[in-house]
Structures are given as structure tokens and as C-alpha cells.
Copies of this chain bind each other. A is one copy, B any other.
Amino acid sequence: MRTSQNLLNTVKEIPADAVVISHQLMIRAGLIRKLAAGLYTWLPLGLRVLRKVEAIVREEMDRAGALEVLMPALQPAELWQETGRWEKYGPELARLKDRHDRDFCLGPTHEEIITDLARNEIKSYKQLPITYYQIQTKFRDEIRPRFGVMRCREFIMKDAYSFHLSQESLQETYDLMHQAYTTIFTRFGLKFRAVIADSGSIGGAVSHEFHVLAESGEDAIAFSDGSDYAANIEKAEVVMPKGSRAKAGVELKKVSTPSQHSIEDVSQFFNAPVQQCLKTLVVKGDDGSLVALLLRGDHVLNPIKAEKIEGVAVPLTFASDAEIIQSCHCKPGSIGPINLNIKIIADRSVTLMSDFVCGANEDGQHFTGVNWERDLSLPNHIEDIRTVVEGDISPDGQGQLHIARGIEVGHIFQLGTKYSESMKAGIINEDGKNQTMIMGCYGIGISRVVASAIEQNHDARGIIWPVSLAPFQVAICPMNLHKSERLKLAAEKLYQDLLKAGIEVLFDDRKVRAGFMFSDMELIGIPHCIVISDRGLEAGMVEYKSRTSEQNEEIPLEGILAFLQAKLKPGIA
């Protein structure tokens, strides 16, 4: 296409509400415009990117054997009442009444609708497993829409739903979708991780999130450098540390620590590294008693893990000072495991500590040189209760964990029978018995992919699109196009040649200065740029600029098509 066809809507101003870089760049590059809070119009350039995301997702869903359908956005309340979500879903569900005063909502998700379709359409167990998907507009009345299309009120999702007779069949489709998602995100050209996730309120047991890695991501994820293990940091397991405990080197000693309460105080007082200080946290048990949680001084308690341990109250509740004094006869700052009269749960990493410091269960007193088995027994309860840190061993034993930030863009769930049971979506199985279908569901935030791609790939000058998502693969930038007839002819011919070769090319035929043109092309992030000038043509040369490199290359005009085709080969960004 030609820029003279009003294709570009680049602007200099950044609206005040655009606090993240992707939002700023999407406005500046003219991809979107705000209509109202959380509502955006996609302009031509942005829509081209959105359609590329859609096309890749559609191709891979089709390849995985999923059937595309299109369900209404407007959903009758009756179906949501069947699953109980009409009452449970909060104000994020946009509700309205039709002219006959009947209740409807605008679908934020389609479990009810697809389950209704499945219970009507699936007549025989022989049709199972079956996976339906759609690419469709969703509505979510966010309390605080923000970050542009990243968290908005109307957005495009790919949502897929599978139906099964058995858990094994669900697992098979789940694995297939996991693979399809991996292919999709790879084809996007984005750095990503599939992480083990909590399935949250949507229900079900097994779930993975697909995160696009970006420093600005809202989620922290732990991933291995030696395998494809990755998990939401809340969920990443810390395995039993390898190696053995160092031998005791010093004697047990009780020391007066009149005003040392925190780990930092104690560490400084004894001039001991924090990892040699034992942290003892006291929480409530589920029977009203207190429970002590032992952690290495530099580690952080993971409340989600702690809540899963038998005997610990849910939600996790710290004991008050008064409760601790009443049970343990000293203030929290001096609590320690030696002779402690409440239940003790030690984090796995604690078992490797030696010559450590801990409270003495007397106000203003700490022990130093404490050693397991010599000064006290290892606690009966050794559990994983801390949050992973950089360098932890990967739970699968392969490699070390690293922490990165990510943007959740995909999510796959094993739903089980949460929806099919309440909606009586059953089928007569091979044995002639009615059986509730088992479900999986699989989402990708289509609009969000666009924003996350920018969060991951940008610089001070603008967006740096991966070739597969770029609105155009190549830009032709002629210098002073309107001053040379030879240049006009050559640029036009180059444009037509590239089009004929199937390359998506943007021909910047505006009457603008070179600097203005380049900064527009960099802002909108076209991967490859051909600069063509009258002077260059004299020598039969054009200039090639890559969006990711400062170095320009001189290329003979006659070889430029082959040069670009090599650059655009799949797999080369």
C-alpha cells in the first residue's frame, strides 16, 4: 500500500493515561484510538497486525483439528443461571435487559454457550473428542481499564472448548493444544514461556499460562535454563536441596540481643550473612493452635504453598504478638526452634543450614552456632513453603531456575465437569450409560498479543515488529521522490516487483523530508526498509536498513528482491 492513501496516523503526543510503553507506542504509531475508557478503535495499521495474529491462531487451531464456530456476544441469563455464574460473576459481567425486559449479558467468556451447543449437537459418544473454537469480541466491564488494549472492556479473544468421555482423552487434547500454542507463539516470533499456573476461579485442576516475556509484565515466572520447565512464581516448587549439610564448626552459644528483632538486625549484630540466620514466623493453625514456620533468613514465605499444608489455617493468618507471648512466653523477635512448644514446619532449604543463628525463645536472647541433630532434632515436618529465587534447582532436576517477568496472553485449562455437570451435558457412552462430558478450555487474548509484542520489542524510536506480525514486511523510502522522474519510475517498479513477489510492502510516497519518513517507519516498526535515491540509482544501488541494526548496507538494485526474500524466509526475523 501507499502511505499517500491516508494509511498512517502517527502522532507526537502521548495521552496522559498511557503509562505503559505499548499503549504509548500504539497511540503514537497510529494503531489504535481511544473511544472511551477501555474502548478502542483499531486503525488500519493496527488492524493489519491484529489480523496477522488472528490468521496464525486460526491456521494452527485448524491444523490441530479444532472446528471454528461463531457464537453470539449477547447471551441469555438463563444459561448463566444454570451454572450459577449469573449470581457469582461480579460487576465485570456487563448485563442488560432487552425490550421485553429479559436479562442478557455480553459474554466475557463462552463456557455456558458452548456447553449448551454441545449438549444439543453431540448425539453420540463417537463424535468425541471434539474441539470448537471461535475468534470473537469479548466484553469485560473492568473496574479500572488500563494499559490500552492490554486491559480493556471490549477485546478479541480466541476461545476454544473441548469435550471428552475420559480424562485420558482430555489430557490428549490438552497436550495437543499445548503444542499448538507453542507453535503459535513461536510463529508470532515472540519470546515466551508456557508456565504451570493456578487455574483460579474458572475451575478445574491442571492449567498452563502462556506468557510473553517482557520486563513490564505483571507476572513473575520462574523458568529453567536446562529444560522447558516454567511456572508462575506462586506455583514453582522448590525441591529438596541437593548436597549435604556442612559439619558443625562452632559451639552453641546464647547471646544477649537486647534490641535485635528482625533478621536484618540479627545479621548485622552477629556480622553473619542473612542466609545464616533462621527466620521463625508464627501463624495460626486450623485448630486455633499456633504453628511456627522456619525459613532461611534470605528466603520469602510463599503463602499459597503454606496454605496447602495440613493443619495451617486458610487464609494464612499471622499470629498476633499477644498470641505469641501467651503461647511461647516471648516476643516474636526472639522466637526460635530450640525447645519451642508449638508445631514446627521447616522449609526444605532450612535443613542444609549449619552454625546458624536463631531466637532463643527468651526476650532479647539469640543462639549462635546452632546445628541440626547436635543442638536440636530436625523438625518432623519438612515442606516447600518458600518462593523460588534465581538459582534454585529446577523441579525437574534439569538446570537452574531464573526469574523473568511475563504478560499472560494464553491460558489452557482442564475444566473437568464443572460446566457440563451443572448444565447436564451428558452423553450415552459405549456401555449405554449416561455420562457427563469432561471439558477443557483454551484461550488466547488476540488483542493483547499485539500489545505484548510491543512490550517485548521496542526501542527509543518505536516498535520493532517480528516479521510475522509486522503490518508490512518491507518499506520503500524514496528520497525526494517528486524531484526525479528516474527515481519515480524506479521506485514504482521496485514497489510493483515486490508486490508481485508476494511481499507486503509499504511505499512511502508522501512528500515529506527523509528524516520525517525514517522516523515514521521506525515508529511503526517495519522490519526491513529500502532507501532509494536518485544518487544511488546512478550507481545502480539502493540502501538497506534493518529496524534492528544501525548499519545500513548498499545493495545492487537488481539483487534487492533476492536479498529481501532471503531475509523474509520463515525463521529469520
Contact = CB atoms under 8 A, between A and B. Distances in A.
A35 B75 contact: yes
B5 A71 contact: no
Interface size classification for chain A: 35 or more
B74 A39 contact: yes
Interface in A279-297: none
Interface in A32-65: 33, 35-36, 39-44, 47, 50, 65
| Count of chain copies | 2
Contact of A113 (B41, B47, B98): B41
A131 to B, nearest CB: 9
Nearest to A35: B72
B44 A127 contact: no
A50 B70 CA distance: 10
A9 interface: yes
A273 to B, nearest CB: 50
Interface stretch (A16-24, A116-124, A494-502, A519-527): A116-124
A94 B302 CA distance: 47
A242 to B, nearest CB: 49
A543 interface: no
A47 B67 CA distance: 10
A73 B73 CA distance: 10
A235 interface: no
B74 A139 contact: yes
B71 A47 contact: no
B94 A41 contact: no
B73 A154 contact: yes
B99 A154 contact: no
B74 A154 contact: yes
Contacts of A44: 67-69
B72 A141 contact: no
A69 B94 contact: no
B35 A73 contact: no
Contacts of A6: 67, 127, 130
A63 to B, nearest CB: 12
B98 A96 contact: no
B141 A98 contact: yes
A496 B70 CA distance: 28
Given A33-B117, A116-B35, A121-B9, A69 B95 contact: no
A187 to B, nearest CB: 21
Nearest to A91: B99
A72 B40 contact: yes
Contacts of A96: 94-96, 106
A7 interface: yes
Contacts of A75: 35
A50 B69 CA distance: 11
A36 B73 CA distance: 12
Interface of A: 5-7, 9, 33, 35-36, 39-44, 47, 50, 65, 67-76, 91-92, 94-96, 98-99, 106, 113, 116-117, 120-121, 127, 130, 137, 139, 141, 143, 153-154
13 contacts: A6-B67, A6-B127, A33-B121, A35-B113, A41-B72, A41-B113, A42-B69, A44-B67, A44-B68, A47-B69, A98-B153, A99-B141, A106-B106
Closest 10 CB pairs of A and B: A96-B96, A42-B70, A91-B99, A39-B72, A36-B76, A44-B67, A41-B71, A72-B154, A99-B141, A74-B154
